[in-house]
Chain A
Amino acid sequence: MGLVCRVVEEAGIPTVCVSTGRDITTLVRPPRSYFVNAPMGNNFGAPGDRETQSRILRAVLDLAVEAREPGCIVDDPMRWPRPFFFNPAPPSPEARAKQLKK
């Protein structure tokens, strides 16, 4: 998605990327990024937490206006209440079959 940001921005439309993966964002460097240290899938806070969703959107809109430095990354102050680690899905049966053929 950071790559899409770069192409759209380069063509003249400002973008903000709302990321939950700081290492990826740092590497890809979208023009403006707002990093939320939340589990992948909850870029705007926990399900049902309307207040946090509104607060993060406000911060994202502020960043759209205030950013001056290309590639800037702003960190959201939220601390997710529980540790999280992200474990991707286990291999699908199709992927297993493909691997066994190699």
Chain B
Amino acid sequence: MSDRPADALRPYVRYIDKTRSYYLSQGYAKPYAWAHNEDAPFTPLTKPLSASTLTIISTSEIAIKDDPRFADDAETKAVGHVYAVPSDTPASRLYSRTQSYDRYATTLDDANAYFPLDRLHEAAARGRIGRVASQCLGVYNAYSQRKTCERDAPVVLGQCRAMGVDVALLVPV
């Protein structure tokens, strides 16, 4: 029995330790090193959310059911690949191919639990946001920080700019 009160906050999972041991178990020679930043860049919003275009960017390996573009793992699972998912896809047609979720505690059966596309459309319908961008983006987790920053992030940025995205919601899985 725990002496922790029933309403106490759960302790945080120590993912840094677990990620290190995971990558070692997968045959990577060097322990994974997370980026460590003391400060952060910051861009204030320039217009109200009700006039803004938003998108979701996800590392959940999100895919569309019965869509041939996602049938070929060799093409879509290239590490570091950035790809688009049309935002008019109902979340019921979306699924995740990732293995890196807590399979002992939950499932990825409901895309809105990690890729809240239906909820974002509802926010647009209510007028809380201006609109959902034409595409959401998937990004594969890369082992290399340099590849993430120098190869993948600029692609994400370019696609956001092309779609006129004002605010991006990034959801790591």
Contacts and interface: CB of A to CB of B under 8 A. Distances in A.
Interface of A: 1-24, 27-31, 37-50, 53-54, 56-58, 60-61, 64-65, 70-71, 79-80, 82-92, 94-96, 98-99, 102
Contact of A91 (B26, B160, B170): B26
A7 B157 contact: yes
B41 A9 contact: yes
B18 interface: yes
A91 B27 contact: yes
A53 B116 contact: yes
A92 B12 CA distance: 27
A49 to B, nearest CB: 7
Given A27-B34, A95-B27, A102-B29, 16 more contacts: A1-B170, A17-B172, A24-B16, A31-B41, A41-B60, A41-B96, A42-B102, A42-B113, A47-B108, A53-B112, A53-B116, A57-B120, A61-B49, A71-B40, A87-B18, A87-B102
Nearest to B146: A3
B20 to A, nearest CB: 10
Interface residues of B, number: 76
Nearest to A100: B27
A50 B165 contact: no
From B44, B123, B149, B172, residue with most partner A Cβ within 10 Å: B172
Contacts of A43: 113-114, 171-173
Contacts of B102: 39-42, 84, 86-87
Contacts, number: 245
Contact of A1 (B16, B40, B171): B171
A85 B173 contact: no
Contacts of A11: 157
B116 A3 contact: no
Interface in B99-157: 99-110, 112-114, 116, 119-120, 122-123, 128-129, 139, 145, 148-149, 152-154, 156-157
23 contacts: A2-B35, A2-B172, A4-B156, A9-B40, A11-B157, A13-B160, A13-B167, A14-B168, A22-B12, A23-B14, A23-B15, A41-B98, A42-B101, A44-B119, A44-B171, A47-B106, A53-B112, A53-B113, A82-B105, A88-B18, A88-B25, A91-B26, A91-B27
B19 to A, nearest CB: 8
Nearest to A102: B29
A19 B114 contact: no
Given A44-B113, A53-B119, A13 B105 contact: no
B7 interface: yes
